[in-house]
Structure 1
Amino acid sequence: MKAIVYQKFGNIDVLQTLEQPKPTIQSDQVLIKVKAFSINPMDWKIRKGEMTLMSGSKFPKHTGTDFAGIVEDIGSSVVGFKKGDEVFGVVKNMMKEGVSAEYVAVPSSLVWKKPSTISFPQAASIPVVGTAALTALQKMGTITSQTSILVNGATGGFGMFLLQLLKQRGAHVTAVTSTAGAAIAKKWGANSIIDYTKENVLSQKATYDIVIDLSGKMGYQKARQLMNAKALFLNPTPKPIEIPLALFKNLFTAKKHIVILSSPSTTYTDVLLGAVKNGLQIEVSKVFPFDQYKEAYQYAQQGGYIGKVAIELN
């Protein structure tokens, strides 16, 4: 089978396609013929060597975490799936595994039936950012119509889920996005917009109960000036050193730095599937064919697009 791999850390040019054996499955696994997989920022953070404490330095490495496809085979202890089922899921360890191949073998506990109302690229866009959005909601605690929330970088994949889920909870949300993203941020549930192409979010006088930085460009120190006295700063893209530092510094300040670490599970996915059934929108801004994977990662890393980016296989 064809697979996208890399033999050393680096930029997009280290990616290459190789012929590899089709995976063999264990008793608790499902073999999936991959139809699509989505791109997440963690893909290039790992590839660039920014997460080596967790990813290790053993090569070759694959890329990609969440996927959608068709069941090709099931292990002897697997129940609830059969050959031909349309499914989506994630790898068990995103730091050391990947789905960028024609076939992938994963535990059946990390595979779910794909709703017939959405496409393979849409389904492949659910697990990672959807779970992160639900985890962020849990970290926010009790949310009411009086809760003021600033979402920086609001119209990517994470923001797509978060804005719609926050709207269901009645929060007052200010979305920081581009001119091109303003209309869809409003559609997803933002009450007001700050257009970063016209205004520096840090220059405004308003403060918030919760600031969440989905762009990874603001950071806790800058965000402090936008935070109320006992506000939360949520960080879904922490550098490894920030995880212990945040815990330590939170002992001495009322303005808390909360790191978001999430892992897809059936509990989260059931909530997300319910939200999709009730009308939650999944926007895939661009779908690239498999042989244009370098262009796909280049496009995704540049940012500025709406929703998610996916790679599709025949």
Structure 2
Amino acid sequence: MAKKEQHEAQGPGVGGAEPGQGLMRAIVQDRYGDVEVLHPTRINRPRILDNEVLVRVHAAGLDRGTWHMMTGRPYLLRLIFGFRKPRNPVAGLDLAGTVEAVGAAVTRFRVGEEVFGFGKGSFADYAAAREDKLARKPAGLSFEQAAVVPVSAVTALQGLRDAGRLQAGQKVLITGASGGVGSYAVQLAKAMGAEVTGVCSTAKAALVRSLGADHVIDYLREDFADGTRHYDLILDLAGNPALSRLRRALTPAGTAVVAGGEHGGQVTGMSRQLGAVALSPFVRQRLTMLAATQKAADLERVAELIDAGEVTPCLDLTFPLDRAQEAMRHLVAGKARGKVAITL
């Protein structure tokens, strides 16, 4: 891009604009806490670094990661995001929108392109995102659908493919199959050739079947660890089952990937995951944890599967930006069937 074109693309309001210019709407928090800490305001558009893209956000996804950053729990996260309050006060991770400006070192995107991926504070009219954390938006998706893909779909992909080492023909059990990550995990496991069993509540059983699950276990009526069924891979996303229960449901050489649960301790939040890793060397079964990373290559892989019709975002509800508190309450209450989006 020529220097003149790049200057014009970045525009007059990217970062430090004059008062009254370059302002944007945003949902921010000046401390950690419950949903009441989120509030709308107007702030300057973010400045972008040489390797970053400024995205005009059309929709943002809501996920448990945003909840963790809102509450500042587990406390270990504060070493990364800010000890007393968030270093970046704008909430939100997932985004979908159009490229408004590009940094000097950006080569993969041009102004006006439609993108989706991981941003820095996506509950705002504009958000900065690293070039290597974005991909082109699948043409068949709305911005709202695309916005709920990145965190959850990439986590599901890495849980099955990398941590779980899933092979075609294997039997897979997915707990929390109706949730954000789970709704993608069911579809991705089917796309990878697995026989899939999803665990969910009675009210969400039909949803999980519609996602392609071969079998559904209603945890209110059945116990997946009753010893009658065994699985090559368990992707544990919800419910906090004890490791002993996961092992009872595994084949003798099966793998359990412990990824979810909100009761892993206030300090690290990973007591079950760390317990699984510590026990694994002493048993035949493989017990491991999932620490998802933000990769453009995995976004692109998910986009390929979406374009091929093998994966479809499960979008439950959308909320306008000024109702972000309400959207978060819906998520925390466990009412979401799949994903929730914020629209701008």
Q: Same fold (TM over 0.5)?
A: yes
Residue in structure 2 matching 1:296, options 306, 319, 327: 327
CA distance in 1, matches of 2:168, 2:77: 37
Equivalent in the alignment of 1:179: 202
Report if aligned partners of 1:64, 1:100 keep a CA contact under 8 Å in 2. yes
Q: Which stretch of the first structure deviates more once superposed, 64-73 or 8-17?
A: 8-17
Equivalent in the alignment of 1:276: 306
Aligned residues: 307
Give the letter for the 2:85 counterpart: F
CA pair 106-144 structure 1, distance change in 2 beyond 3 A: closer
Give, in angstroms, the shift of residue 132 of structure 1: 1.1
Equivalent in the alignment of 1:74: 102
Equivalent in the alignment of 1:240: 270
Report if aligned partners of 2:232, 2:254 keep a CA contact under 8 Å in 1. yes
Equivalent in the alignment of 2:128: 105
Give, in angstroms, the shift of residue 90 of structure 1: 0.4
CA distance in 2, matches of 1:98, 1:235: 28
Q: Deviations over 1:235-283 (max 9, x none)?
A: 1236234454433222222233211111121221221111011102112
Residue in structure 2 matching 1:259, options 249, 271, 289: 289
CA distance in 2, matches of 1:63, 1:85: 24
Equivalent in the alignment of 1:59: 85
Q: Which stretch of the first structure deviates more once superposed, 35-44 or 229-238?
A: 229-238
Report if aligned partners of 2:316, 2:339 keep a CA contact under 8 Å in 1. yes
CA distance in 1, matches of 2:155, 2:211: 17
CA distance in 2, matches of 1:229, 1:53: 35
Give, in angstroms, the shift of residue 4 of structure 1: 1.6
Give, in angstroms, the shift of residue 11 of structure 1: 1.2
What fraction of aligned residue pairs are identical, expressed as a percent? 30
The answer to whether 1:310 aligns with 2:310 is: no
Q: Deviations over 1:194-251 (max 9, x none)?
A: 1223334444632322222222432424323322322222112362344544332222
Give, in angstroms, the shift of residue 286 of structure 1: 0.3
Give the letter for the 2:320 counterpart: P
The answer to whether 1:44 aligns with 2:67 is: yes
The residue matched to 1:257 in structure 2 has which SS?
Answer: strand
The residue matched to 1:181 in structure 2 has which SS?
Answer: helix
Q: Which stretch of the first structure deviates more once superposed, 265-274 or 231-240?
A: 231-240
Residue in structure 2 matching 1:12, options 28, 32, 35: 35
TM-score (norm 1): 0.89
Report if aligned partners of 1:132, 1:236 keep a CA contact under 8 Å in 2. no
CA distance in 1, matches of 2:317, 2:165: 34
Equivalent in the alignment of 1:212: 235
CA distance in 1, matches of 2:183, 2:36: 29
Q: Deviations over 1:125-155 (max 9, x none)?
A: 111111111111222225232x222111112
Give the letter for the 1:165 counterpart: L
Q: Deviations over 1:159-202 (max 9, x none)?
A: 22211121123222211123333233223221111122333444
The answer to whether 1:85 aligns with 2:108 is: no
CA pair 12-219 structure 1, distance change in 2 beyond 3 A: farther
CA pair 261-187 structure 1, distance change in 2 beyond 3 A: same
The residue matched to 2:153 in structure 1 has which SS?
Answer: helix
Q: Which stretch of the first structure deviates more once superposed, 6-15 or 181-190?
A: 181-190
Give the letter for the 1:80 counterpart: R
Report if aligned partners of 2:26, 2:40 keep a CA contact under 8 Å in 1. yes
Give, in angstroms, the shift of residue 308 of structure 1: 0.6
Equivalent in the alignment of 2:164: 140
Report if aligned partners of 2:102, 2:110 keep a CA contact under 8 Å in 1. yes
Q: Which stretch of the first structure deviates more once superposed, 196-205 or 172-181?
A: 196-205
Give the letter for the 1:141 counterpart: R
TM-score (norm 2): 0.82
Report if aligned partners of 2:32, 2:85 keep a CA contact under 8 Å in 1. no
Structure 1, unaligned stretches of length 5 or more? 92-96
Report if aligned partners of 1:33, 1:102 keep a CA contact under 8 Å in 2. yes
Give, in angstroms, the shift of residue 46 of structure 1: 2.8
Equivalent in the alignment of 1:94: none
Which structure has the larger Rg? Answer: 2
CA distance in 1, matches of 2:27, 2:133: 22
Give, in angstroms, the shift of residue 48 of structure 1: 2.2
